[in-house]
Amino acid sequence: MSTSTIELVIVSQDQIMYRGFVDHVNITGEAGELGIYPRHTQLLTRLKPGIVSFNVDGEAKVMYTSGGFVEVQPNIVTILADVAIHAHELDKDRILKAKEIAESKLSNASGEDMELVAAKLKREIAKLRAYEYINSMQSKR
């Protein structure tokens, strides 16, 4: 381990999605976007649906997470995600269809159903952002 890297562990419900040393990590936390670098102060926060991005040897990597928790220690960042998907595995057509269905249901929902459908819509929008982010990075190459 170098003093210019930090260990990152991303765990979904059923597997370790990533484990290794990275230059930095960007997450979508409960209070907003966070940039985490080596020797970051300790932190525990909830993850909102969104993008987790990090650099490995100068190469950007992106994942979508649907929520969960992040623990930051000076030398390690642990992300416990409800769902984690590598951005290159996201299917735009599938995301757009799920988003369209959620939008349709939202217009007819009420009460608790509205909250559940709105949460689903937020997750689909976050997936779409991750998909678009990774594709914009690839087009710059």
* Domain locations along the chain: 6-86, 92-139
pLDDT score recorded for residue 1: 53
Candidates 18, 17, 20, 16; CA nearest to 7 is 20
Is pLDDT above 70 for 139?
no
pLDDT digits (tens, 9 = 90+) for 48-57: 988 899 988 8
Mean pLDDT of 75-86: 93
Burial of 21 (0-12, 13-18, 19+ CB in 10 A): middle
pLDDT score recorded for residue 46: 95
CA gap 53, 51 in Å, rounded: 6
Mean pLDDT of 31-60: 90
Contacts of 136 (CB under 8 A, 6+ apart): none
Where is pLDDT greater, at 43 or 2? 43
Q: Name the CATH superfamily housing domain 6-86.
A: F0F1 ATP synthase delta/epsilon subunit, N-terminal (2.60.15.10)
pLDDT score recorded for residue 140: 64
Q: How confident is the model at residue 115 (pLDDT cuts 50, 70, 90)?
A: confident
Where is pLDDT greater, at 9 or 123? 9
Contacts of 59 (CB under 8 A, 6+ apart): none
Q: How confident is the model at residue 19 (pLDDT cuts 50, 70, 90)?
A: very high
**Rounded mean pLDDT of the chain?**
87
Is pLDDT above 80 for 137?
no
* Torsion 101-120-8-22 (CA) sign: positive
pLDDT score recorded for residue 2: 63
| pTM tops 0.85 | no
